[in-house]
Structure 1
């Protein structure tokens, strides 16, 4: 068994909802958490070539004590849309960009792989459910959707961002997803679903957090720590308190590996 340092607990900035990225980082800095890894929501900071804007963002990140490990989720409808996002993620020093697009669009996959090679960054397919999408044919929502693309494009830069909450809503066991994709997993969005909230903090509902983390420990073997990204969409007034609770749940699940 690997040790807990083989994982990298972090947070998706989407947990701060409609806050500006500046406010989100200030709230994160003021929180009682010890999370040093951030996946930056593309809506919080759309791509920009403005060096001054990026410098201001970097100051905010430093003030919050976090590094950008990932960027997304980037929703793509056609070719020609991805380059600015991948380039921006690379400028931020991210290791990966999370993406979603129609699973049968091999032309988008091929473009993403060319960009991944050019910018030396991983591309992680992110799954969705009926929570945000009425037409599931336009998103990755099942193990079969993801598997088919990975089999057609066996590229080391192409992997999976497992959103446990969306898989749970789609009645897909996250444990089965971990067993299926193993080393192709680039990042995990630890999200839950409960009687109280469709999208809840990890450990609050149906997600068997300790079991999933244990399976990740067993099935994923990466050269760098695997990002375990806390994600939820709760009322803004609960965001910080929920983050502290979520971090405790995640760190307890990691401690169980020892």
Structure 2
């Protein structure tokens, strides 16, 4: 496992956050599944806690306002040197900005953020770091290890992300597999997966967070015991053994025992 303490290259996934209706029960679910502990704040958008592993921040959970009927979903945040400029680029490239840009923490000491959506409607966050650099631990069980956009087809939306964040894209050459890896400085940081009509009707295009686990099959069983559900059972893939699951409020995420894990 590694600590991730330096500011992220713009475009790198740097944080994941979840907005839910019942914060207490959600915290209990993830504490039991991943061993997370929690500390409060910042709470610009309502009650919010940061999840820790060994004292290192790995994710955030916030409270949805009772009058907001939004999809409960994990949100991937992409790093930016200037969130205001990035938000402008999102708009000019056919995306939308739903929240912000606004300061996080007292007078923005944590950072500055916005919530946006790409032209296909997939929601993502933009994070300009100050004191809060983002996820502070990588590779350990319970930490986010990968972020993938699940969308209808990748070609159009790939151009959007390349223009806004400067990614190099590498397409998987296959007639029946629409997949692109996004790279920064030659390093893979995220992926785009076009699934066509297999896209869930009730969700639309969305970013999926992958969390590392010690044992995918055991973690999938535990999800069900804790009141969640298994959407796609454990299977062996190129990056390791992976399953898609959902928490008790329906937020989908992937669990993976990476082939590179020790």
Q: Establish whether TM, by shorter chain, passes 0.5.
A: no
Give TM-score scaled by structure 1 length.
0.33
Between the two structures, name the one with larger relative contact order (CA 8 Å, sep ≥ 6): 1
If each structure's strand is expressed as a fraction of its own residues, which one has the higher value?
2
If each structure's helix is expressed as a fraction of its own residues, which one has the higher value?
1
Give TM-score scaled by structure 2 length.
0.33
